[in-house]
Structure 1
Amino acid sequence: MTEPLRAVIADDQALVRTGFRMILTANGIDVAAEAANGDEAVAAVRRTRPDVVLMDIRMPQMDGLEATRRILTGGDEDTRVLILTTYDLDHYVYAALTAGASGFLLKDVSPEHLVAAVRLVRSGDALLAPTITRRLVERFARRDNVKPTLHRDLSALTPRELDVLRLLATGLSNAELAGQLSLSVATVKTHVASILSKLGLRDRVQAVVVAYETGLASPGGTG
């Protein structure tokens, strides 16, 4: 029997934490700890080694972005961070993704989608809501003054892998990628895994960032 997925909930509002805990535990996900600020979140992760952290952005003492950076650069690279916020703003999106978050959802997400997102990022995939992907694209449409943070040399990728990465940047799922390229879903997964390995990336979210930072993909087009 496999061990239950373990999560830490970081949010400065007790009612929000309680709501998330009820949703997760009702769906077989163990909540290992709660945190009311970034400092507590980092300490909770070090103490409990969870699979996934549900991380609010705006918290006192240390915000969720800095907490995410510290968690993912402090020996807890296997922990996945799922950002939850009420603020649908592009600069938070960009900051969260470059901090290493594997997903970004608004707090009005349905309980079913929240649980699915937690399971998805734990499996090694990454999640961006369509509205979030759109804002990421808009961010790079104004990227003249944005310093690349994940810039990678794409020369190691095959032509097919470049095609996959270019389409991946538009927010397509593996099934949608397979349909676009007339490939099986299994083949697409293999290509995505190869892209991440060759570029030294954590997940699909970082691959999206690289696609725009290198100019392979561009807002309103395919780069």
Structure 2
Amino acid sequence: MRFLLVDAFPMVRAALTGLIEQHFAGARVQGVDTVDAARSALAASLPRLVLLDLRVEGGFELLQQLRRDHLMLPVVVISGSDEAEDALHALEAGAVGYVPERSDLDTLVQALQLVLAGGTYVPPLKPRVDEAPASAIPALPDWAGLPLTPRQKDVLHLLTQGLSNKLIARELGVSVDTVKDHVAAVLKALGVNSRTQAVVAAQKVRG
């Protein structure tokens, strides 16, 4: 199982490589420090997962390219920000995992395991309040006030854990089609258009 690690800092690449190889049997990590090197590596052979630091010059454009050209290739973003707006921006651009640098190593391992299992990882996040007055930030309803059935709230909870529809179905003992119906109801209740947006919105609602 090959990982592509895109990070400009040699010490960070070395630390993450050691961590991945320690926790993922048979893992091989290819570390690169530029977007051009990452594109060359991707052209030679697609990895199982890409770990990307968006501070690499052109990193966000690479994330968008990966979504466009390799939709099924999971990308986990490493970020210096833990603000909800930044996470949502990365998720909408194609990431399926978002790990702030402040996270401990166990959290990173769990995030990678979840993404490799088909899920989405989003940590607890904080809203950005420095660019708009509080009155301009729309208030989100409490979960108790959402027009959801108890089972749909179970689905919402599992969505916030990053589980895929298949894993949610297994957890709840229902069909994948039933989960899809519940997810649609959750998206409508939260006023969002995708499950990644739902995860971030749900964090704010509970928050």
**Same fold? TM cut 0.5:** yes
Percent identity, aligned pairs only, is 19
Aligned partners of 2:160 and 2:199 also within 8 Å = no
Equivalent residue for 1:150?
A: none
For the residues of structure 2 that align with 1:46 and 1:143, how far apart are their CA atoms? 43
Equivalent residue for 2:145?
A: none
Select 2:62's aligned residue among 57, 64, 67: 67
Shift of 1:25: 0.9
Select 2:3's aligned residue among 4, 7, 12: 7
Equivalent residue for 1:88?
A: 82
Q: Which amino acid aligns with 2:78?
A: L
Q: Which amino acid aligns with 2:61?
A: E
Aligned partners of 1:82 and 1:105 also within 8 Å = yes
Select 1:21's aligned residue among 11, 17, 22: 17
Equivalent residue for 1:129?
A: 123
Q: Which amino acid aligns with 1:71?
A: L
Gap change, CA 1:143 and 1:98, over 3 Å in 2 = farther
TM, length-normalised to structure 2: 0.67
Q: Which amino acid aligns with 1:167?
A: L
For the residues of structure 1 that align with 2:158 and 2:127, how far apart are their CA atoms? 12
Shift of 1:208: 3.8
Residues 126-154 of structure 1: CA distance to partner in whole angstroms, max 9, x if unpaired?
10111x3x439xx9x9678xxxxxxxxxx
Are residue 44 (structure 1) and residue 74 (structure 2) matched?
Answer: no
Residues 8-55 of structure 1: CA distance to partner in whole angstroms, max 9, x if unpaired?
111111110111001111122523422212332233233221111111
Select 2:107's aligned residue among 113, 125, 136: 113
Aligned partners of 2:88 and 2:196 also within 8 Å = no
Shift of 1:106: 1.5
Aligned length: 181
For the residues of structure 2 that align with 1:121 and 1:173, how far apart are their CA atoms? 8
Are residue 55 (structure 1) and residue 52 (structure 2) matched?
Answer: yes
Aligned Cα root-mean-square deviation (Å): 4.1
Shift of 1:88: 2.5
Residues 171-200 of structure 1: CA distance to partner in whole angstroms, max 9, x if unpaired?
3566xxxxxxxx982336834456679xxx
Q: Which amino acid aligns with 1:171?
A: T
Gap change, CA 1:172 and 1:112, over 3 Å in 2 = closer
Q: Which amino acid aligns with 2:105?
A: P
Q: List runs of 5+ in structure 1 lacking aligned partners.
A: 145-158, 175-182, 198-204
Q: List runs of 5+ in structure 2 lacking aligned partners.
A: 139-147, 164-168, 185-192
